[in-house]
A = this chain, B = another copy of it.
């Protein structure tokens, strides 16, 4: 990202006035996700990437081990993508693989001490930025709009599952 701060050409609202509300919403959501993702990626302590942090964060929040496929499903990425992410986490010593006694195909991914340390370090780095967003950002009632977005996400997720089942039949 090398963009220079040029004369403000920012569009006040995503899309055109004529676009349907849902299309504008999705456009806006895409831009927010993109902006937040870029900012977040820059803050991460090397060698941690967004995908890698996501895995550490999830396993620590849920306080459990998960398999490659479970993680791939949770983050909605392809299984080889998660295999690659986990492989790098292993190389960095942030997770370790445990074999399943009953099924030799399955690998359980668990966070190591080093993994917990860098995840907590990341949280410390991120927190002030989130706080700035809270205090200096727009004063909206985020809890009020959260259920609508959760419903939308759930619908898209269900539709995705339906389409996959259609392909498999």
Which chain A residues in 142-169 approach chain B with CB under 8 Å?
142-143, 145-146, 148-157, 159-161, 163-165, 168
Compute how far the CA of A31 lies from the CA of B58 in the bound complex, rounded to whole angstroms: 14
Main SS of the interface on chain A?
A: helix
Contacts of A104 in B (CB 8 A): none
With A20-B130, A145-B25, A164-B3 as known contacts, state yes or no: A32 contacts B140, CB within 8 Å: no
With A37-B30, A79-B3 as known contacts, state yes or no: A140 contacts B146, CB within 8 Å: no
Tell whether, in the assembled complex, residue B146 and residue A13 are in contact, meaning their CB atoms are under 8 Å apart. Answer: yes
Contacts of A34 in B (CB 8 A): 33, 76
Task: Pick the residue among B16, B30, B142, B146 that contacts A36 (CB under 8 A).
Answer: B30
Number of interface residues of A (CB under 8 A): 73
| Residue positions of A touching B, CB distance < 8 A | 1-6, 9-16, 20-26, 28-39, 61, 69-70, 72-74, 76-80, 130, 132-134, 136-138, 140, 142-143, 145-146, 148-157, 159-161, 163-165, 168
